[in-house]
Amino acid sequence: SQQGEEDPQALSIQEGENATMNCSYKTSINNLQWYRQNSGRGLVHLILIRSNEREKHSGRLRVTLDTSKKSSSLLITASRAADTASYFCATENYGNNRLAFGKGNQVVVIP
Amino acid sequence: EAGVTQFPSHSVIEKGQTVTLRCDPISGHDNLYWYRRVMGKEIKFLLHFVKESKQDESGMPNNRFLAERTGGTYSTLKVQPAELEDSGVYFCASSPGAYNSPLHFGNGTRLTVT
């Protein structure tokens, strides 16, 4: 089974700055999703991008998908202290809808 | 609407004991999933229910794990007997559809086997 792999693993930024995370995967996908997890809580869905889409926006979030490079990026613009969390990418394969998660990025936004 | 709820939030048991985790999905969500995160590892798929039927249980680690979803509502995941390597956080998620459908996760059950 494939895995999403995020890069970098940990990111510390100042409030107001942008945060960018990358994710790579290995096989063909149906879609790629990004989730956020605050400490001790469940994962919260942020955005889903289908394999035939290249870019998607949701509020301060921007996700890109490059299927030729099997990679995706998540950009958080104008970060806030409340954005401090772990961020996971997950891929859904064709033929099944098991999500394959990466290890996650820990993002710390310093007020 | 109420979110996905899991019970208990924490469980500490001894090796060889039995533990049952419960998940209440969002009302009306036919699809229910169990995932697990072992310390330091990725979140891994365990199984997928569509209503009361097991659609995919390829991620279940071994026959010490038994999942049920009676009547297509709540689900239970029983570990019997528990082993040390079963420690981790068990997440339940639900969705109204299957493909291209975001998952709604519960807060998880942290299981510690000593």
- Greater confidence, A57 or A96? A57
- Strand partners of residue A34: A47, A89
Could you tell me which chain A residue has the CA closest to the CA of B108? Answer: A42
* Beta-carbon contacts of residue A33 (< 8 Å; ≥ 6 apart): A45, A46, A47, A48, A49, A89, A90, A91, A92, A99, B102, B103
**DSSP assignment of B54-112:** EEE-TT--STTEEEE-GGGS-EEEEESS--GGG-EEEEEEEESSSTT---EE---EEEE
Q: Give the mean pLDDT of B7-17.
A: 98
The pLDDT-based confidence of B22 (bands split at 50, 70, 90) is: very high
- Give A43 or B99, the one with higher predicted confidence: A43
Which residues on chain B are in Cβ contact (under 8 Å) with A35?
A: 105
A38-59 mean pLDDT: 95
- For residue B17, the SS3 value is coil
B103 and A96 within 8 Å at the Cβ level: the answer is: no
Distances (CA, A) of B78 to A17, A67, B48: 45, 39, 15
> Average model confidence (pLDDT) for chain B?
95
Q: Is the Cβ pair B44, A88 closer than 8 Å?
A: no
Percent of chain B with pLDDT over 90: 89
Instruction: Place A1 in a pLDDT band, splitting at 50, 70 and 90.
Output: very low
Q: How far apart are CA B53 and CA B72, in angstroms?
A: 8
Structure confidence at residue A7 (pLDDT): 60
* Digit-coded pLDDT (tens) for B33-65: 999 999 878 999 999 999 999 999 999 999 999
Which among A44, A97, A101 is the nearest to B43, CB-wise? A101
Contact indicator for A25, B77 with CB cutoff of 8 Å? no
- The C-alpha torsion from A74 through A78 and A84 to A88, rounded to 10°, is -10
**Nearest residue to B65 via CA among B47, B92, B49:** B47
pLDDT score recorded for residue A14: 96
pLDDT in tens, A63-109: 999 999 999 999 999 999 999 999 999 999 877 778 999 888 999 99
Q: How many CA atoms, within 13 angstroms, populate the side-chain half-sphere of residue B71?
A: 5
Instruction: Identify the pLDDT of residue A3.
Output: 52
